Chain A
Amino acid sequence: MLAVATICCVVAARADDAVSLSVTLKDHQFEPAELHAPANKPIAIHVKNLNTIVSEFESGDLHFEKIVPVGSDAVVHVRPLQPGRYNFYDDFHHATQGYLVVP
């Protein structure tokens, strides 16, 4: 826990050079269903929930989970990635799937 306290002091503002991506949840679909980002750069994914029910924007591959209430925006930050195809989904509605492609 000492470490946690120390680490909290090491706040680097690197969000500036993050690649910004946007995705919308509507009728239980991601729009667009496939996002693209360059390799080895931090990424910020903005999500807007236009469904009629609450969503949990989540990805095991990308290591994030976030509740997105109806009608609201949220942002998750993703660490720099190696090339690959990464899956994300609505954890409250598993049929809703999307991908982040890093060439």
Chain B
Amino acid sequence: MLAALLIVFREVFEAGLIVGIIMAVTVGVPGRGLWVSAGVAAGVIGACVVALFTGGLSQLFGGSGQEVFNAGILAFAVIMLTWHNVWMARHGRELAAELKAAGEAVAAGSKSLAALAIVVAIAVLREGSEVVLFLYGVAAAQGGASWGMAVGGCIGLVLGSLVCLATYLGLVTIPARYLFAVTSTLIAFLAAGLAAQAIAFLQQAAIVTALDETVWDTSWLLSDSSLLGRALHTLIGYVDQPTAMQLIAYAATLATIVVLMKLFSTPPQRRPQTA
């Protein structure tokens, strides 16, 4: 029971941090509940499909199928997050100024919501497929699901969801006029962290081998296996022993997002009241 609780909690915790941020990012956007729920549902289904096909997936790309798949969906999430931030830099002011105004803004807003729903789905899929594999493995080994496993899993799910809720509630206490800046920054660091994680998978598969020396080691200060280390790993991509290539990917992603946001941001025509 304890093992099920711990694994489920850990994975839900990591996905929950991302879902909590996305909920805070989209606060006030109509239809967001539906989009985020759809993202979670798609992620759960995707997790089951991935778990089912793990054996076959592993054999692809000369045995590096898992790594290529993980790196691919992470890169896709990075693109979606970048796109969202750039879109918000362009339209965020209008949205805030006209506060849920015309149908056009709402329709355009839902495009950005779709990008974020995809990010939610990817986060849930990645963490969820591990949960499915683990629980299925335990159930198969003991000849069926047990109450202990179900109870442990449910407690893990509830505790993990509380983290999601806490992240959301913590972020929405930020005054509305700062919320946009805070969430844009969070999204940018989240994207950079995911890019560095994608590199780690490509290095594990030996697809990327250049610049693979460890640049620094802060594991004595904060191990990325600890709970705080894991949280920071998910949120801003903290790694206690990053390789040079990971740092380059991290910095390049941040720089790309900042430059694109600057490039596409519209100068304010009038002073917005609420932004």
Contact = CB atoms under 8 A, between A and B. Distances in A.
Contacts of A103: none
B204 A1 contact: no
B204 A44 contact: no
Interface in A44-103: 44, 52-54, 56, 60, 63-69, 72-77, 79-80, 92-94
A65 B66 CA distance: 10
B253 A1 contact: yes
B200 A60 contact: no
A67 B54 contact: yes
Assign chain B's interface to a size class.
Answer: 35 or more
A67 B66 contact: yes
Interface string A1-42: 111100110111111001000000000000000000000001
Interface stretch (B16-24, B96-104, B209-217): B209-217
B66 A66 contact: yes
Nearest to A81: B214
Most buried by A among B134, B210, B245: B134
B115 interface: no
A54 B133 contact: yes
Interface stretch (B28-36, B75-83, B170-178, B267-275): B75-83
B169 interface: no
Interface residues of A, number: 38
B148 interface: no
Given A1-B82, A1-B253, A56 B75 contact: no
Contacts of B59: 72
B208 A80 contact: no
Given A53-B138, A72-B55, A80-B213, A7 B204 contact: no
A3 B58 contact: no
Contact of B212 (A69, A74, A79): A79
A42 B66 contact: no
Given A56-B130, A60-B224, A76-B204, A1 B79 contact: yes
Given A53-B141, A63-B204, 15 more contacts: A1-B79, A1-B82, A1-B195, A3-B248, A7-B202, A7-B210, A8-B207, A11-B207, A54-B133, A63-B241, A64-B204, A72-B55, A76-B204, A92-B137, A94-B3
